[in-house]
Structure 1
Amino acid sequence: MFKHIKTLYEKSEKFFHPLVGLSSYEKYLEHMKRNHPNDKVLSRGEFFNEALDRRYNSGGFKKCC
């Protein structure tokens, strides 16, 4: 059962995260390694916090309330 849940979670990054506008941390790491090898890499938590901040606090997202 736990193996099945783990598999679903791992696949969620490929299917669910793009649906809600979250970028892939692994893609970010690949990009940084390839294009910015000397720059500091964000931790997973920092990466997702920044992605959420860009999405919801950029002024382009209209809130219902």
Structure 2
Amino acid sequence: MYRKITQTIQRISQSMRLMVGVPEYSTYVEHMKNAHPDRSIMSHAEFFRERQEARYGSKGRVNRCC
């Protein structure tokens, strides 16, 4: 029962993070290990910065009026 509750909470948390655009570092690491074993894996900080850059562009500056 405890395991099922924990899994449900983890899935809800993951869903909420994805809804607001927060990428999953663990998913990235798993993908890199499986699909690109020859490439180095970014640190969590590097990964976060890269995802922010990809989402917002301009090195974190927002280029919009609102």
Higher relative contact order (CA 8 A, sep 6+): 1
- Between the two proteins, the alignment pairs up a number of residues equal to 54
TM-score by length of 1: 0.66
Gaps of 5+ in 1: 1-10
Q: CA RMSD, aligned part only?
A: 2.4
Larger-Rg structure: 2
Deviation at 1:21, TM superposition (A): 1.3
Question: TM-score under structure 2 normalisation?
Answer: 0.65
Give the percent of matched residue pairs that are identical in Structure 1 and Structure 2: 40
> In the alignment, which residue of structure 2 is the partner of 1:32?
32
Gaps of 5+ in 2: 1-9
Q: CA deviation at 1:37?
A: 0.6
Shift of 1:24: 0.3
Runs of 4+ in 1 over 4 A off after TM superposition: none
